[in-house]
Structure 1
Amino acid sequence: MELTLTPLEFARRARRLYPQREAVVDRDLRLTYEQFFDRCDRWSSALQAMGVTQGDRVAYIAPNTHAQLESFYAVPQLGAVLVPVNFRLTAEDFVYIVNHSGAKVLCVHSDQLGAVDSVRDRMPGVERFVALEGAREGWEDYEALIASASPDFDHPEISETDLLTINYTSGTTARPKGVMITHRNAYMNSVGTLLHLRVELGQKYLWTLPMFHANGWTYTWTVTAAGGTHVCLPVMDPAHVFELIRTEEVSWLCAAPTVLIMLANTPEKVRGDVPSGVHVVTAGASPASETIERLEEDFGWTITHVYGLTETAPFITVCEPRPEHKELSVRDRGTLKARQGVELITSGELRVVDENGDEVPWDGKTVGQITVRGNVVMKGYYDDPEATEKAMGDGWFRSGDASVVHPDGYTEIQDRIKDVIISGGENISSVEVEGVLLRHPDVLEAAIVGVSHERWGETPRAFVVLQEGSTTTEEEVIAFARENLAHFKAPTQVEFVEQLPKTATGKIQKFVLRDGSSAVSRQ
């Protein structure tokens, strides 16, 4: 009999081989794998008693806690579908996602109980409201339900093509879409991650990345597969991150580039001694090579850049190190590490194609769109056949990312297709310009957008967050860009802001910057 390709197989193996190894650290709580999976089984039993059956949806609104982690096992092993919701969204967003997904049970962290209470009468399909902690009137208590439940429940037969999760996209310019990830999708992404990013038995993984974000890039299951320890971090605070790295002897973490910038620029008096040897996986936007250099040279950490989307479970490429890279200078190695890289062994086939669908030459110059097909590509968008057809109607998922391919086969994203700036007929990559600005010693963060120009059609405009105490001027930033770029690529305007508008997963909302929205925090 063939085993179904599902991340639940990692749980079966871990509970058999590592019952007494530490599975979870969440503040003062420490759980072995035996204890952790006992809790998962009891929650599955409790959900089944509530009437949750195969195919039903169970939604969670919670930060990185042990209860959120338990959902990635307790819900799927019932054959039910997990809907991990971005807890930083508004109450209106909660209404849309919960209703659109058809969630039967809604589990909520104490921080979001008030927001859900304000709109729960608009969620008619939800039959049970469960407080993961801080239960109050009108809410069932998660811990009490687990304590009173039996660890025994009916195990349905699960197919690898069954839905595992529905993950909702950021929805920055339209209603969020529900990405349908199957058991096979998640299993293959986890296996590929373990092949290329080798978490070892007993190593500790720090949850700096939200678990709701593309299922925590499948590290919710990958760490378990390796017999590692999940160190939960409910609130992203740099001082706490460094403290946990020291006290828990953390070996791995994942972070968007904005978090890397935050960590790299944390004052020494706040961060304290920084242990070396930490492996960091970064994705979400192209990290600046200067940020990579600083973390590797000053902290002694190893940074690996990966690329993917929620729709691809999520990893498509990894910027894998090669022996010849060791001969490069620190600057050149940082530049290479900022590229998206090559296909993971398990992800499937990636092509960068032009407008006619033909693969672009590997010359590092010709820009095309990243397309992918294979093991990690989603089943489709939930209840949205039109969007599914548009994104992957011919079997190739279109990423919307503009990229070149270098002669060594490494892809490098130039921009989102919609964000490429065309000035006087020349294409300008905002990613390239941002990378140059981030090399300025006084620039903490930078974003480039195209604005209309009477002569050139479009011209680059920079939004810059300066290092604390900096007095750098607009003229100095523009001059620095012109010294390091072709002049037509340099920004003609610079606006200094206190912070850049971002999604909950750290992506800069360039549409807000283009529109001149009041949401931009100006200096």
Structure 2
Amino acid sequence: MSPYDQDLPQNPANHAPLTPLAFIQRAAEVYPDRLAVVHGDLRRTWGQTYTRCRQLASALQQAGVGKNDTVAVMLPNTPPMVEAHFGIPMAGAVLNTLNTRLDPETVAFMLDHGEAKVLIVDPEFAPVVARALPLRRSTAPLRVIHVADTLFSGPVSPLAGDDYDAFVASGDPGFDWLWPEDEWDAIALNYTSGTTGDPKGVVYHHRGAALNAVNNVLDWDMPRFPVYLWTLPMFHCNGWCFPWTLAQRVGVNVCLRRVDAASMLDAMRTQGVTHYCSAPIVHGLLVSAPAELKAGLPAGIQALVAGAAPPASMIEGMEAMGIHLTHVYGLTETYGPATVCAKHEAWGQTSVGERAALNARQGVHASLQRTARVLDPDTLAPVPWDGETMGEIMFRGNIAMKGYLKNPSATRKAFEGGWFHTGDLAVQYPDGYIKIKDRSKDIIISGGENISSIEVEDVLYRHPDVVAAAVVAMPDAKWGETPCAFIELRAGARVSEADIIAHCKQQLAGFKVPRAVVFGEVPKTSTGKIQKFELRKRAGSVAAIDV
């Protein structure tokens, strides 16, 4: 045995499990009076925020929540959502952020599958929760806690439950929160559509959350004390780990209940925003906003875009506003962005069209991810770096999920051969940069959210007059992509587009409803398999309808 392996054991003095919870503790100890949260007229410092997070953790423990218990939240980008990212895991529990755009049936499934013991809900989403709770199959008790928000102006649902602020106030402000025993302990649960209509529960560990939070700093060159505008939903991959990143950088969380151009631009101007992230649709809102709304913006705002590649018009529009756009790529299973289209100084000397082509690539692996490669999905051999040979994007390293909750077969398949298989088909260029060419998973990315085509097809097949159905992505100037449905009807049936849309609206969240319906024979192979590649060609020329 090597002398480097003898009598040199790990101990509490030289080894501690990685956790992003450490970041808020340091922020509060070193910079207690620095501003942490802005929400309307509300202002809270890092010292105050840390205290509230400890109180939340204490109150949860008093309510019987312990290690590996699930606490679900259905919240917009408001202060309680920031607190949830720290207070819930401080109790040893697992944070499950629910997509606020989901339908009651899916919410009920997630509450049951994740075995949530507590649900914290904003008044805007109380009506959805009220319809979801009776649909639960589980008989286990679920404690509901309501958040009151002065910026919410809608009707308040009569959903029974506790008051959030009173619940937090009942906790001990000096609570000695739980550092994870192992950095592999679960910190968060995020549901994704995956390759089927059944949501899969992606489990994050403390190590990955901490490393990706730091990775955001490294790959974005994020300085201390940034002012971050919450346009990206915190329910989406835990806001790409930015709640924890901002604690590490002692930044300001500028909360935003609802995303629109006027609100974003006003916040950028009045709060001195330096950073924000979002899907292409949000950046597009800013580019197309009236000129008077753009006046007086801070110089040099940094923005990340994920999803569809930014077109030349968006890059040009962002540059005109003084906003620097960086393209990133990732999945729920990789804590959000795991590659970045790292820029080179020489790119700045090229035309906007050439920059758009360079920035359209998904880029290279993140600094704290071991690697990202395009591999032959059958042999796992690297494809040539020629920008032409197709393969599948695969990741290996620190920033990958633990696996899928209660789904060992899907977990094994995802990690087959020691790589995380994304299902996204791409090429790799001579400089190592990756660019997606197609998706092996029939997932439609609309406004940054994943839609399973299989889920939509399943609903279409429930219509009594539908004999064949296929759903593919169609280009959309606003959302990037939206679902387009191709349908064969039974002989003699008289069904309109409006009928199909109404049928889907009864069973799907609004953003999953097809924006176009095309009737006719669906092309199939000799064995009866629907030829989706042919439908994708057709979808490019189909006109969307207002749903």
The TM-score with structure 2 as length reference comes to 0.77
**Is 1:309 equivalent to 2:331 in the alignment?**
yes
Mapped partners of 1:292, 1:507: distance in 2 = 28
Partners of 1:157 and 1:190 in 2: CA distance: 17
SS at 1:394 equivalent? helix
Question: CA offsets per residue over residues 243-267 of structure 1, 9 Å max, x none?
Answer: 0000001000001112112221122
Native 8 Å contact 1:172 1:509 kept in 2: no
Summarize the Cα distance change of 1:509–1:399 in structure 2 as closer, same or farther, 3 Å threshold.
farther
Give the 3 Å change call, closer, same or farther, for CA 504–16 of structure 1 in structure 2.
farther
Equivalent pair of 2:195/2:441 in contact (CA under 8 Å): no
Residues 12-47 of structure 1 show CA distances to partners (whole Å, capped at 9, x for unaligned) of 211111100000001111000011111111111111
1:288 and 2:311 are equivalent in the alignment: yes
C-alpha change, 1:157 and 1:10, in structure 2 (3 Å) is: closer
1:45 alignment counterpart: 58
Q: Which residue of 2 aligns with 1:125?
A: 140
Name 1:332's counterpart in structure 2: 354
SS for the counterpart of 2:358 is helix
Following superposition, which runs of at least 4 residues in structure 1 exceed 6 angstroms of deviation?
503-513, 515-519
Is it true that 1:148 corresponds to 2:163 in the alignment? Answer: no
Alignment of 1:9 onto 2:22: yes
Match of residue 72 from structure 1: 85
SS at match of 1:402: strand
Change (3 A) 1:131 1:125: same
Segment drifting more, 280-289 vs 212-221: 280-289
Cα distance, 1:505 vs structure 2:
13
Aligned residue runs from structure 1 range 174-213, under 5 A? 174-213=197-236
Conserved? CA contact 2:315–2:352, under 8 Å:
no
SS at match of 2:217: helix
- Stretches of structure 2 that go unaligned for 5 or more consecutive residues are 1-12, 149-155, 446-471, 480-504, 519-534
Specify whether residues 12 and 48 from structure 1 end up closer, same or farther in structure 2 by C-alpha distance, changes over 3 A only: same
Equivalent position amino acid for 1:88 in 2: R
After the TM superposition, which residues 295-444 of structure 1 pair with which residues of structure 2 at under 5 Å, given as runs?
295-296=318-319, 298-355=320-377, 356-418=379-441
Name the residue aligned to 2:72.
59
| Cα offset, 1:335, TM superposition | 1.8
Structure 2 contact 216–245 (Cα < 8 Å) conserved: yes
* 1:390 alignment partner, SS class: helix
How far does the alpha carbon of each residue in 1:422-448 deviate from its partner, in whole angstroms, 9 at most, with x for none? Answer: xxxxxxxx99xxxxxxxxxxxxxxxxx
Amino acid at match of 2:345: P
Query: Does the CA contact (< 8 Å) of 1:371 and 1:399 recur in 2?
Result: yes
- Alignment correspondent of 2:532: none
Residue 245 of structure 1 is aligned with which of 259, 268, 271?
Answer: 268
| 2:70 maps to 1:18 | no
Between the aligned partners of 1:231 and 1:108, the Cα distance in structure 2 is 20
Q: Distance in 1 between matches of 2:517 and 2:477?
A: 16
Which SS does the other structure have where 2:208 is aligned? Answer: helix
Is the counterpart of residue 521 in structure 1 residue 545 in structure 2?
yes
Shift of 1:148: 3.1
Q: Letter of the aligned partner of 1:291 in structure 2?
A: M
**Larger deviation: 282-291 or 234-243?**
282-291
Q: In 2, are the aligned partners of 1:200 and 1:228 still within 8 Å (CA)? A: no
Which of residues 88, 100, 115 is equivalent to 2:101? 88
SS at match of 2:197: coil
What is the CA–CA distance in structure 1 between the aligned matches of 2:211 and 2:263, rounded to whole Å? Answer: 32
Q: Contact 2:312 / 2:352 at 8 angstroms: preserved in 1?
A: no
C-alpha separation in 2, matches of 1:331 and 1:371 = 29
Secondary structure at the residue paired with 1:340?
A: coil
Please report how far the alpha carbon of residue 357 of structure 1 lies from its aligned counterpart in structure 2 after TM superposition.
2.1
Structure 1 residues 213 and 354: CA distance shift in structure 2, 3 A: same
Report the secondary structure of 2:418's partner residue.
coil
SS in 2 for 1:285: coil
User: Which amino acid is 2:114 matched to?
Assistant: S
Asked if the contact 1:286–1:413 (Cα under 8 Å) also holds between the matched residues in 2, the reply is no
In the aligned structure 2, how far is the partner of 1:507 from the partner of 1:303?
28
| Secondary structure, counterpart of 1:60 in structure 2 | strand
In the alignment, is the contact (CA less than 8 A) between 2:105 and 2:135 conserved in 1? no
Q: Deviations over 1:181-237 (max 9, x none)?
A: 000111111111111112222220000000000000000110110011010011011
Residues 105-124 of structure 1 correspond to what in structure 2 (within 5 A)? 105-123=118-136, 124=139
CA change 1:505–1:81 in 2 (3 A) is: farther
Asked if the contact 1:293/1:331 (under 8 Å) is kept, the reply is no
Give, as a single letter, the amino acid of the residue that structure 2 aligns with 1:103.
A
CA spacing shift, 1:395–1:30, aligned 2, 3 Å: same
Q: Does 1:233 align with 2:248?
A: no
**CA separation of 1:522 and 1:155: change in aligned 2, threshold 3 A:** closer
Q: CA deviation at 1:277?
A: 1.1
- Offset, 1:511: 10
Q: Distance in 1 between matches of 2:270 and 2:473?
A: 43
How many residues end up aligned between the 2 structures? 452
Unaligned runs of 5+ in 1: 421-429, 432-459, 468-500
CA distance in 1: counterparts of 2:243 and 2:511, whole angstroms:
19
Q: Offset of 1:65 from its aligned partner? A: 0.3
Are 1:36 and 2:60 matched, yes or no?
no
Give the 3 Å change call, closer, same or farther, for CA 4–235 of structure 1 in structure 2. same
Distance 1:505 1:179, change over 3 A: farther
Paired residues of 1:256 and 1:505 also in contact (CA < 8 A): no
Tell me the residue number matched to 2:160. Answer: 138
SS of residue in 1 equivalent to 2:259: coil
